[in-house]
Amino acid sequence: MPRPVRPGSPRPLGASFDGTGTNFALFSASARQVTLCLWDDDGGEERIPLTEVDSFVWHAYLPGVRPPQRYGYRVDGVWDPASGRRSNPHKVLLDPYALAVDGGLDWGHGDEDAQRLFDYEWADGSMSLRDSAAQVPKAVVVDRSFDWGADEARPNRPLADTVVYEGHVRAMTMLHPAVPAADRGTYRGFGHPAVLEHLRRLGVTAVELMPVQQFLSGQGTTNFWGYDPIAFLAPHAAYSASGTAGQQVTEFKTMVRTLHEHGFEVLLDVVFNHTFEGGNDPDMPWRVGPTISLRGIDNRSYYLLDGADPRRYRNDTGTGNTLNVWDPDALRLIMDACRYWATDMHVDGFRFDLAAVLAQTDDTHSVSVFLDEIGQDPVLSGLKLVAEPWFGSNRPQLLGRFPPLWSQWNGDFHWAMRNFWKSTGSLGDMVDGLRGSPDLFDAADGERPTGSVNYAANHDGLTVRDTVSYTDEGQHAWNCRGPGQAEDDPEVTSLRARMQRNLLATAILAQGVPMVLYGDECGRTQGGNANAYDVDDPTTWMPWGTDQDADLLTFTRALLRLRADHPVFRRPRFFQQGTDGIDCFRPDGRPVGGDDLHASGPVALTVHIDGSVSLGVDASGRPVRDDASFLLLLNAHWDPMHFTVPDLPGQGAWDVVLATESATGPAADLGMDQTVVRPARSLMVLGRLT
* Angle, in degrees to the nearest 10, between helices 411-421 and 427-434: 130
Q: Are strands 513-517 and 452-455 parallel, antiparallel or unpaired?
A: parallel
Phi, psi (rounded to 5 degrees) for 257? -60, -40
Q: Under a CB-based contact definition with an 8 Å cutoff, are residues 101 and 137 in contact? A: yes
Task: State the Cα–Cα distance between residues 660 and 680, nearest whole angstrom.
Answer: 11
Is 194 strand, coil or helix? Answer: helix
Query: Would you call 52 a catalytic residue per the annotation?
Result: no
Distance, C-alpha 535 to centroid of its chain: 18
Q: Are strands 675-678 and 641-644 parallel, antiparallel or unpaired?
A: antiparallel
- Determine the length of the chain: 690
Say if residue 12 is preceded by a cis peptide, omega within 30 of 0: yes
281 a catalytic residue: no
Nearest-angstrom CA–CA distance, 658 and 385: 32
Alpha-carbon gap, residue 287 to 84, rounded angstroms: 13
Question: In the β-sheet with 57-63, what is the strand arrangement from edge to edge?
Answer: 14-17, 21-27, 57-63, 52-54
**In this structure, which long-range contacts are made by residues 585-589, counting pairs with CB atoms below 8 Å and at least 24 apart in sequence?**
585/646, 587/635, 587/641, 587/642, 587/643, 587/644, 588/644, 589/643, 589/644, 589/645, 589/646, 589/647, 589/673
Question: What's the rounded Cα separation, in Å, for the pair 208 and 121?
Answer: 41
Helix, strand, or coil (residue 314)? coil
Neighbours of 537 (CB within 10 A): 10
d(CA 138, CA 38): 9
Could you say which of 166, 388, 610, 626 is catalytic?
Answer: 388
List the catalytic residue out of 102, 353, 432, 626.
Answer: 353
Ranges of H-type helices in 532-653: 550-565
Contact 215, 228 (CB under 8 A): yes
Q: Which of 303, 269, 17, 253 is closest to 139 using CA atoms?
A: 17
The H or E element that residue 242 is part of is none
Q: Which residues are identified as catalytic?
A: 353, 388
